[in-house]
Amino acid sequence: MFLFADPATKAPVFSFKEVMIPMRDGVRLQTVIIRPVAKTEPLPILLQRTPYGVPDKAPDPAPPGWKELLPDGYIFVIQNLRGRFKSEGVFQLSSRVDLSDPKATNETTDAYDTIDWLVKNVSANNGRVGITGVSYLGLTAGMTLLKPHPALKAVSEQAAPVDQWMNDDMHRYGALRLSYALEYSVMEQADKNKNTHFDFDTYDTYDWYRKLGPISNVNGKYLHGAVPFWNDIVEHPNYDEFWRREAWIDQLHGSPVPTLNVAGFWDQEDPWGPWKIFRNSEENDPEAHNFMVAGPWFHGEWHAAAGESIGQIPFGGHATSREFRERIEAPFFRFYLHRKGAKFDWKASTFQSGSNTWHTYSAWPPPDSKSRNLYLHTDGTLSFAEPGDDSSTGFVQYVSDPANPVPYRPRPISPTYPGGDWRTWEVADQRFVDHRPDVLTFESAPLDRDLTITGPVAAELFASTSGTDSDFIVKLIDVFPENAVKNAWKADDGPGPGEYAKSLDGYELPIAMEVRRGRFNKSYERPEPLVANEPTDFRIPLRDRDHVFLKGHRIMVQVQSTWFPVIDRNPQRFVASIYTAKPEDFIAATQRIYCSPKLPSHIELPVAP
């Protein structure tokens, strides 16, 4: 037993204890128990389960994410997953769950066994347990919903991945998130006892991945088959049984435990999973205790000390992270674990970017949001008017060359981890690519009034390629006026115009971005080649949003076919698997985007009153 002391009074603040908790198969998991000494009454347990390592002492100071929870009092429990650090067993980097097999172990059963042990063995607990966490910790929290222990009374999964092929960390609708998948797999599986970063021999990873060549060179030159999850990725290019077993969300069809789902609108890792959990839980929620929260955050930013900005984008003086914890997270656990306070009277709460205001909704998407089509035109304009027969071709085109791919953020591109650039790339000013000949740009006139979009956004592209496979990336962008800072900044907003002037005047702020891979346009399980030069309908979901395009701003759409190295290069010639493509398979291709009455490419916006 160790004590952390308050430096002002020297009085102990937390007790700290490490235990090994047995699972049903005899494997023991390294677990630490941190309890506030001043709270002598029975307290609820708040659990986190992690692959990243547990503390070796009580935190000093307490993490920012605990500050709003401490007045209520919790027994904080943090546990290493099996096979990580001192925990016994084998780490699988897997979300497979087979509840039909009583002998099977997984994150759902390990959480159940852990909670069972905790309520029976931790002194002075009140019998109520909550589980929370961000990212992988959000995954382990969310997976408790498949078979919750009776003592589990509150779940807050935050940025939890749910289907690693369909979206979130490793893929986007089957398009491999190359740099993240490789670097994360190495970090988690290269060494059981520590987090390991891939050793790049150049700082600019764009250049490193470009020189890497075909993906087969990852194992051929570097990993040599030693990282299991990377092997799984390249051995399963399609949405086969392996990936369907990983998609634990398909087993969730209700809300068995009160759940607070948390997502970031600019989460660069797991923006999709929380919305999917929310929607699947809504299929059966008779107690109306399934809630959705989303804000203007990168991955996990809601646990930053304040959250007053993302990158160079300020939030109008709001400390959004602290406000979330004070107004939503702490009251959620207080109500369900302490039985104090009131239940939320809303289904969804968002911090709306653009207006920089919090909103609550009785349903999501709000029923008063109406879908409107924003059309792409051959003259490079963007408007709600349908395209007419004013173009001799009805399309615009560009050449996509895998040898010279469009970077996904300004170069040099630092490694994903460690480093700070990765967190905010989704709000990067898109002027860094809008001059490239392989990026099409469509732009509206300045808006004469505010335009609010609240709900799911999507694109429908009618496109063709001279090759037999292709990617299409669509970006919805808010273009700030050239006098944005002068007009928008007020003295009480915080940082002055000098800090933001260079970055916000004319800033091209991405609101939604996504990729679709042509080979999977008809089937995720059985890819097919595209027919060369034949117009094809591509549906591209752009996820849920709540944003105001302010009066005087413009709306922009960019279309391109490479997004490197966050997405691997499509050879643009159909092959059985891109992961076994040869250098000669990579070809330049002419891409056409159709903007005609019969083939009207457009963005579907959920326009609010």
**Cross-strand pairs, 399:** 590
Q: Is 370-607 a CATH 2.60.120.260 domain?
A: yes
Residues 272-290 have pLDDT tens digits of 999 999 999 999 999 999 9
322-336, 386-400, 575-589, range with the lowest pLDDT: 386-400
pLDDT surpassing 60 at residue 230: yes
What pLDDT is recorded for position 500? Answer: 47
Q: Are strands 290-295 and 348-352 parallel, antiparallel or unpaired?
A: parallel
Higher pLDDT, 494 or 363: 363
What pLDDT is recorded for position 528? Answer: 98
pLDDT surpassing 70 at residue 489: no
Q: What is the pTM of this model?
A: 0.94
Q: Which of 345, 273, 266, 353 is nearest to 302 (CA)?
A: 266
What pLDDT is recorded for position 59? Answer: 87
Residues 112-156 have pLDDT tens digits of 999 999 999 999 999 999 999 999 999 999 999 999 999 999 999
Three-state SS string over 519-531 comes to HHCCCCCCCCCCC
Q: What is the CA radius of gyration of the chain?
A: 25
Q: Where are the domains of the chain?
A: 2-162+247-361, 171-245, 370-607
Residues 3-62 have pLDDT tens digits of 445 555 555 689 999 999 999 999 999 999 999 999 999 999 999 999 999 999 998 888
Residues 406-424 have pLDDT tens digits of 999 999 999 998 877 899 9
Sequence-distant (≥ 6) Cβ neighbours of residue 16 within 8 angstroms: 1, 2, 3, 4, 32, 33, 34, 55, 57, 58
Question: What strand order describes the sheet that includes 28-36?
Answer: 2-5, 12-22, 28-36, 75-80, 43-50, 125-134, 152-158, 259-264, 290-295, 348-352, 357-361
Number of Cβ within a 10 Å radius of residue 91: 18
What pLDDT is recorded for position 10? Answer: 55
What pLDDT is recorded for position 492? Answer: 47
Residues 332-391 have pLDDT tens digits of 999 999 999 999 999 999 999 999 999 999 999 999 999 999 999 999 999 999 998 765
pLDDT surpassing 50 at residue 320: yes
Question: What is d(CA 192, CA 233) in angstroms, rounded to the nearest whole number?
Answer: 20
**Cross-strand pairs, 545:** 455
Q: Are strands 508-517 and 75-80 parallel, antiparallel or unpaired?
A: unpaired
Q: Which DSSP string do the residues of 481-543 spell out, in sequence order?
A: -TTHHHHH--GGGSS-HHHHHHHHTT-EEEEEEEEEEGGGSS-SSS--PPPTT--EEEEEEEE
Contact 305, 286 (CB under 8 A): no
What pLDDT is recorded for position 137? Answer: 98
Mean pLDDT along residues 191-219: 91
Number of Cβ within a 10 Å radius of residue 455: 21
What pLDDT is recorded for position 6? Answer: 53
Contact 296, 262 (CB under 8 A): no
Residue 182 to residues 179, 232, 435, 555: CA-CA distances in angstroms? Answer: 5, 12, 30, 34
What pLDDT is recorded for position 189? Answer: 85
Please give the angle made by the CA atoms of 588, 593 and 595, to the nearest 5 degrees. Answer: 165
Contact 177, 567 (CB under 8 A): yes
**Which of 2.130.10.10, 1.10.1040.10, 1.10.3020.10, 2.60.260.20 is the CATH number of 171-245?**
1.10.3020.10
pLDDT surpassing 90 at residue 434: no
What pLDDT is recorded for position 185? Answer: 93
Q: What is the CATH number of domain 2-162+247-361?
A: 3.40.50.1820
pLDDT surpassing 90 at residue 175: yes
Question: What is d(CA 236, CA 469) in angstroms, rounded to the nearest whole number?
Answer: 18
User: Are domains 2-162+247-361 and 171-245 of this chain identical in fold?
Assistant: no
Question: What is d(CA 42, CA 199) in angstroms, rounded to the nearest whole number?
Answer: 48
Please give the angle made by the CA atoms of 600, 545 and 301, to the nearest 5 degrees. Answer: 140
Contact 262, 533 (CB under 8 A): no
Band of pLDDT at residue 490, cut at 50, 70 and 90: very low
pLDDT surpassing 90 at residue 393: no
Mean pLDDT along residues 544-548: 98
Sequence-distant (≥ 6) Cβ neighbours of residue 572 within 8 angstroms: 400, 402, 465, 467, 468, 469, 470, 561, 586, 587, 588, 589
Residue 378 to residues 394, 466, 477: CA-CA distances in angstroms? Answer: 7, 19, 18
